[in-house]
Amino acid sequence: MHWPVDAQTRLAAQNFPLPIQAQQPAPQDVGRGFDPTRWMRHLRPGVDQFPPSPAGGYRADPESIIAEFQAAHYLQGLALTVSWGTMARTKQHVYGQHQLQHIHDTLSQCAESITETQSIQQSWDMLVMGLGWTSVMTSKALHFLCRALGHNNDPPVPIDGEVIRNKVWPAFKNRINQGLRPRNWDGNSFDAYCRYMTAILEWARARNWTTTQMESTIWDEYK
């Protein structure tokens, strides 16, 4: 993917790498059980449906999310993403006052933009400014959407407040002299998210890991 690199963050990430104890990448969160009956109101009536229940029951897990996005089942993929990200309590902010058709069409446009540009910048703006999503929700949705489109080495990865911003960021920046510290990862701007991704990309390259593996590992260690 095409990633705008923040030069100051890249230099800091190279010279002051985040302490990581793991020698092998941690697996991504495997998700949890998923009750589709609780999510039907977030699908278009008569248009969308969840696939037949598998033998082990429904799960909101990375494989299921990616499969739905690959099939262009954007509202199903979104519902699974919200559940996987444990954001059910705030899902009203995800769906807001938007028509479901509009959300579906926006995610479809994101997929087209990513395919055409190999970048998430336009998609970020469509979700943050168009749908009013936070960087937390946007990063999770784009993570799985990009993987569904075949970007498995350097997809965008989730950012959150509890672990990444409140624990990983201080652990990183406190090792750096005040005058050399890059700007933080706060807020919903694309620039702030790219500063976070610049660090993730550098740490992943240093270990020959994917960005997914790097984020999963640091989240597991710092949670």
Question: pLDDT digits over 11-21, tens only?
Answer: 999 999 999 99
Question: 47 and 11, same structural domain?
Answer: no
Range(s) of the domain holding residue 198? 7-23+158-222
pTM for the full model? 0.97
Q: Cα separation of 170 and 185, whole Å?
A: 11
Question: 162 and 144, same structural domain?
Answer: no
Residue given tokens 């002299």 in the structure block: 177
Q: How many domains does the chain have?
A: 2
Residue 131 in any domain: the answer is yes
In this prediction, residue 30 carries a pLDDT of: 95
| Mean per-residue pLDDT, 98-121 | 98
Select from 148, 170, 190 the last residue of a domain.
Answer: 148
Structure-model confidence comparison of residues 90 and 193, the more confident one: 193
CA-nearest of 75, 76, 90 to 34 is 76
19-54 pLDDT, tens digit each: 999 999 999 999 999 999 999 999 999 999 998 888
| Mean per-residue pLDDT, 184-194 | 98
| Mean per-residue pLDDT, 131-147 | 97
Q: Cα separation of 179 and 136, whole Å?
A: 28
End-to-end Cα separation, the chain, in angstroms = 28
Residue 63 in any domain: the answer is yes
Check: CB of residue 219 under 8 Å from CB of residue 27.
Answer: no
Q: Cα separation of 220 and 197, whole Å?
A: 17
Q: Cα separation of 188 and 208, whole Å?
A: 29
SS3 156: coil
Question: 168 and 76, same structural domain?
Answer: no
Q: What is the DSSP string of 34-84?
A: --GGGTGGGS-TTT--PPPPPTT--EE-HHHHHHHHHTT-HHHHHHHHHHH
Question: 202 and 95, same structural domain?
Answer: no
Question: 95 and 45, same structural domain?
Answer: yes
Select from 120, 148, 176 the last residue of a domain.
Answer: 148
The Cβ-side half-sphere exposure at 196, using a 13 Å CA radius, reads 28
- 3-state secondary structure string, 196-222? HHHHHHHHHHHHCCCHHHHHHHHHHHH
In this prediction, residue 55 carries a pLDDT of: 78
Question: 163 and 212, same structural domain?
Answer: yes
Scored b (16 or more CB within 10 A) or e, 103-137 reads bbebbeebbebbeeeeebbbbbebbbeebebbbbb
Residue 153 in any domain: the answer is no
In this prediction, residue 54 carries a pLDDT of: 82
Q: How does the average pLDDT of the chain come out, rounded?
A: 96
Neighbours of 82 (CB within 10 A): 22
Select from 127, 148, 169 the last residue of a domain.
Answer: 148
